Amino acid sequence: VSMKRKYEDMAERVDKLKGSKILEDMENIYKEGLSLVTPTEMTGTLKGSLIINRQLQSIFKEARQNIEIMTTEKGLQDIHSNHFRTLKKLSKRGVKIKIMAPLKNEEIRKSLSEIAELRDSPALGRVAVIDGEHMLMALTDDKVHETQDLALWTNSKHAVQSMAGPLFSQYW
C-alpha cells in the first residue's frame, strides 16, 4: 500500500470524525474534565450505632452549604448528644441546618433551635442529606439494639438529588 493511499485513508477518517458525536464528546471531556467514580467509592452499608455516628460526624464536617435531617425522637436525642458541637460550629460557619423530628423534649428543642431551623413532625424515619451530595439513611427502626442498627450511606449526587432531597422537601 502506497504512502499516498495511507494518507488518503487517514484524511477520510479525519473528515468523518469532524462532524461526529465522538468528537463532540471528546471536546466536552477536554473542556470540562472527566471524573471516574466507582460504585464502591460512593456507597456503603454501616452496621452499629457507633459506626453510623462516626460516618455522620465525618460527612457533617464536610458540609459547606446545608444539612437536612429527618429523624425520630430517639434519633434527635442521638443527634443532640453526639453531634451538637459539630453542628454548632458548622452553623457559625454559615451552613444552613434543617431538622425535622418529633420535638417532644423541650431542652433539646431549645438547644437545637439556636443552630438549626426546626420543624415538629411525626417520625418518618432517619435520613440526613448533606450539601445535596451525601445521604445517610437508616435501614432499621431505632428500637433495635445499637449493635444491630443498619444504615445506607451514599455519596451519589444522583441518588441524593433525585430521591432524598425531594423527599425531605416534600415533608418540610
| Bridge partners of residue 111, in order along the sequence | none
Predicted confidence at residue 98, as pLDDT, reads 97
Regarding beta strands 117-120 and 96-101, do their DSSP bridges make them parallel or antiparallel, or are they unpaired? parallel
Predicted confidence at residue 123, as pLDDT, reads 80
Predicted confidence at residue 41, as pLDDT, reads 55
Predicted confidence at residue 37, as pLDDT, reads 58
User: CB–CB of 147/48 below 8 Å?
Assistant: yes
Instruction: Write the pLDDT tens digit of every residue in 9-60.
Output: 888 888 888 878 888 888 888 887 766 655 545 778 899 999 999 999 999 9
Predicted confidence at residue 36, as pLDDT, reads 62
Q: How far apart are CA 123 and CA 138, in angstroms?
A: 12
More confident site: 35 or 89: 89
Instruction: Write the pLDDT tens digit of every residue in 52-77.
Output: 999 999 999 999 999 999 999 999 99
Q: How far apart are CA 138 and CA 70, in angstroms?
A: 11
More confident site: 49 or 123: 49
- Between helix 21-32 and helix 3-18 the angle, nearest 10°, is 70
Q: CB neighbours of 13 closer than 8 A, spacing ≥ 6?
A: none
